[in-house]
Amino acid sequence: MTDPTHSTDVIPQPRQVATQDAFFDLGPDTRLVAGEGAEHTERWLRATLGAATGLPLAPGSGSGAGSGGAIRLALDGELADEGYRLDVAPEGVHLTGGGPAGLFWGAQTLRQLLGPDAFRRAPLPDRRWRLPLGRVEDEPRFGWRGLMLDVSRHFMPKDGVLRYLDLMAAHKLNVLHFHLTDDQGWRIEIKRHPKLTETGSWRSRTKFGHRASPLWEDKPHGGYYTQEDIREIVAYAAARHITVVPEIDVPGHSQAAIAAYPELGNTDVIDTTALSVWDTWGVCPNVLAPTENTLRFYEGVFEELLELFPSEFVHIGGDECPKDQWRASATAQARIAELGLADEDELQSWFIQHFDTWLAERGRRLIGWDEILEGGLAKGAAVSSWRGYAGGIAAARAGHDVVMCPEQQVYLNFREDGGADEPVPIAFVRTLEDVYRFEPVPAELTEEESGHVIGTQANLWTEVTENQERVDYQLFPRLAAFAEVAWSALPAPADRDYAAFERRMATHYRRLDALGVAYRPPTGPLPWQRRPGVLGRPMDGPPPNK
């Protein structure tokens, strides 16, 4: 029998780990015993570890575990809901979660402790499966540990989304912010507005590289998720204790919708019937008209959305809305006068506040990019702080919940290295160490204000990330560092032991290999990961940290 590479190199780092140089061996007779409320994790463990190890992990009952010992799963309300305790003794394993989510996160740690081959989908020959004796006690720092995935600029087929939910779960991330609409494509079926996908989900060609690039991919690009696909994604996520927060972008980033339904645009300024789904990148000038028709249209969109997504929060975008068309539009100017607003900025606030109220009346909470702060928000609304920390600081001080995702720190579409071989280099360099030293809670907030920072999120925009391999490259290994920042109780950034994290990553790269993740190697991109000659937009120097 070959001894596996067992490891206590857990990522994210648990709060307390104490192990011995002795082991509990899993074998054909090892039972999986689930207490009340542990059934979902039992099924996941049996399916996942069963596939990797070839062991049956047959169900067991209360007392007798037999000669092979047992893995016992139970809940204990004394622990934090997402917390867990993992005890490994010579006679077996006790995994206890404060709630079903905590139990599931503990199962992820158990899988890591079995070694990288436990992440495979079929057993390798002559493997010995063992867990180090000892105890792990753990719970997360933040309740919102998110990944924003943009499937609008480049569509990710459903199987790819399900795969990313598994990768998120393996890193104890629990919120998928699903960016479903933008100028370049509408990705969700809305039955009362079928043209949103018939017309809005496909563009005729795609800019290859940064928007200044002369290169084009001259073939149609697109796709969308049916409502049944969405139900499957949401259910798959829920089984992994991940909440899917949908984003429908308004009033900017809306050309795909206007191309499908031209009456949504500013028809007294431009010929909206001539618009198509946008094929390039940047901030698009074509925005929604501030009319009652537009409001009713999007209320219908959100009604169907709420039936599909049970999440407390619904993201409405609210960023990067150029006002030129509103300034030139008699309809928009009449609406400003009718409402007694000062200018076009207040008109955007009125638009956002309409859906803030609309969602609140239906028991949901609006969340949007930090531009939505301009003009005031309802008490329950939350803010995704992307333009640095300032928006999040202002929101927290005003009593709003905040998800910290400053672009200068955790936009993982930014390049990881300054080398010439980086594929389509975008913006500032954000190394693995930079991400590891990211701190979501600004030091200038008081303890009470800091309580409004409900979590943090890494964002991946896909303008120059055209397929699964490129998404893998941009996200990994940096998403592993981000996951530790979001989960673990780390010291202040300057005091974090990055060298120890790198040592644990040596094991984690093997897990990613077993999972088939096309990550960026520490030594730089492999030849097939490069994009020679494709123009990016690198920025020199350190990013502004404010």
Q: Give the residue numbers annotated as catalytic, written as ranges.
A: 182, 253, 320
Which string of DSSP letters, residue by residue, matches 390-419? HHHHHHHHTT-EEEE--HHHHBTTS-S--S
Instruction: Write out the two tokens for 383.
Output: 């803010």
CA distance 56 to 42: 12
Judge residue 273's burial from the number of C-beta atoms within 10 Å of its C-beta, 0-12 exposed, 13-18 middle, 19 or more buried.
exposed
Contact 172/454 with Cβ under 8 angstroms? no
Copy the structure tokens of residue 506.
């040596």
CA–CA separation, 339 and 260 (whole Å): 29
23: exposed, middle or buried (Cβ count in 10 Å: 0-12, 13-18, 19+) = middle
**Measured distance CA(176)–CA(160) in Å, rounded:** 13
C-alpha distances in angstroms, 207 versus 215, 274, 379, 432? Answer: 6, 20, 41, 28
Query: Which residue carries 């596939």 as its tokens?
Result: 51
d(CA 472, CA 331): 45
Query: SS3 of 219, please?
Result: coil
- Give the residue carrying structure tokens 């990067």: 320
Q: Tell me how crowded residue 284 is: count the other CB atoms within 10 A of its CB.
A: 21
DSSP helix/strand/coil, 254: coil
> Tokens 């390049």 correspond to what residue?
415
Helix (H, G, I), strand (E, B) or coil at 346: helix
Rounded CA separation 522/360 (Å): 46
Closest CA to 460 of 81, 146, 7: 146
Query: At how many degrees (to 10) do helices 478-487 and 468-475 cross?
Result: 50
Bridge partners (DSSP) listed for residue 88: 93, 134
